[in-house]
Structure 1
Amino acid sequence: MAAVDSSVSGVSGRYATALFELAREDKSIDAVKADLDRFDAMLADSPELARLVRSPVFSADTQAKALAAVLDKAGFGGTTAKFLKVLTANRRLFAVTEVIRAFRALVARFKGEVTAEVTVAETLNKKNLDALTTALKSVTGKDITLNVKVDPSIIGGLVVKLGSRMVDSSLRTKLNSIKHAMKEAG
């Protein structure tokens, strides 16, 4: 059984751990992760599907039938489809995005990868992404997966969250520091 950490807990963590163990036994971790990534993308692209998943208004039967149709049409099968149907039958489909997040964390830990949450003011080009990945890999000694978020409000620089550590080298933070220093000085 996979060891539980703070990023994988609660209902979503239990379901993600169960799915991870099944996928590991079937040697289908990558296939299940790819399916879950695809389902997550479908949720992001379809407000109707997101509503079906999150809304308690739909009965379990309606949700199950609709999800089965979506899974069939999208070509989902095997472990992932069965798992999503179990989530639906147990009335836990609303937690699927958190289950997917927790599953990704379990896969990353299993593969010895570390996920870095990076916030930048504007989109980074491939050269800068590669340089950042290399720098973070040299610090951690592990493979790095970057989750990059663009937030123009940081003005410039970047904010990196790696596990429990955070480095904020954004221009917004530096300007705020100067502002506070000037207030104290005078």
Structure 2
Amino acid sequence: MLVASEASTIASGGGGLADRYAAALYAYADENHVLDAVVTEMENLGRLIDGSADFRRLLDSPLIDVKTATAAAQAVLQQEGFGKPVRDFVGMVSVNRRLRSLREIVAAFAALVADRRGIVTAHVVSAHPLNDVQRQQLRARLIEAGYGNVNIHEKVESDLLGGLVVRIGARLYDTSLKSRLQRLQYAMKGAA
């Protein structure tokens, strides 16, 4: 269970709601030497939320009272084999009426862990799914560009036609065929 110092961190200002909850969980897990287990379980929780429409409905429903929602969430987490720290954390989130924000909190926790461990996240959008060779080449290019430890999150958008759009923090690298055609169109309009 989170102690009063973590709860006051959540209640105090500074950062968004999800960031404050993520920071409190990180501090708790680090102090209690269960950080690696909590990181793994929070990744699993994110996959559970993304993969289960029923669980998402439970989290998003304003019609379910707090007591029932907390008990249902705890039962799901227990059945899925989550440890006590994550179950207690989700219970606290539920009691504070923040279950609707749980997915955001999971994402904020992952971002905090990546930041603390020096991992950079590259959001890659491609016209077609990348194969293993393309992933390795992309990772090598990112390392050459100075991004040492990179996590690649992929998304497919067929309207790009070809190429890639890579976002790392505030930087955007757009080599998509769609963008090249748009730039050519603007250049041709300017020449006319």
Are the aligned partners of 1:29 and 1:107 in contact in 2 as well (CA < 8 Å)?
A: no
Hey, what does 2:41 align to over in structure 1? 35
Q: Distance in 1 between matches of 2:119 and 2:51?
A: 27
Residue 92 (structure 2) aligned to one of 86, 94, 97: 86
**Which TM-score applies when normalising by structure 2?**
0.89
Hey, what does 1:114 align to over in structure 2? 120
Hey, what does 2:57 align to over in structure 1? 51
Q: Distance in 2 between matches of 1:133 and 1:29?
A: 27
Residue 163 (structure 1) aligned to one of 139, 161, 169: 169
Deviation string for 1:112-171 (max 9, x for gaps)?
110011111101111110111121122224200001111111110000111111111100
Q: Distance in 2 between matches of 1:80 and 1:87?
A: 10
Deviates more, 1:34-43 or 1:166-175: 34-43
Residue ranges of structure 1 left out of the alignment (5+ in a row): 1-7
Question: After the TM superposition, which residues 97-112 of structure 1 pair with which residues of structure 2 at under 5 Å, given as runs?
Answer: 97-112=103-118
Deviates more, 1:96-105 or 1:38-47: 38-47
Q: Distance in 1 between matches of 2:50 and 2:158?
A: 22
Q: Percent identity?
A: 35
After the TM superposition, list the runs of 4 or more consecutive aligned residues in structure 1 that deviate by more than 4 angstroms.
none
How many residues are treated as equivalent by the alignment? 179
Question: After the TM superposition, which residues 1-186 of structure 1 pair with which residues of structure 2 at under 5 Å, given as runs?
Answer: 9-186=15-192
Residue ranges of structure 2 left out of the alignment (5+ in a row): 1-13
SS in structure 1 at match of 2:190? helix
How far 1:32 moved relative to its partner? 1.1
Q: Distance in 2 between matches of 1:156 and 1:141?
A: 24
Are the aligned partners of 2:120 and 2:147 in contact in 1 as well (CA < 8 Å)?
A: no
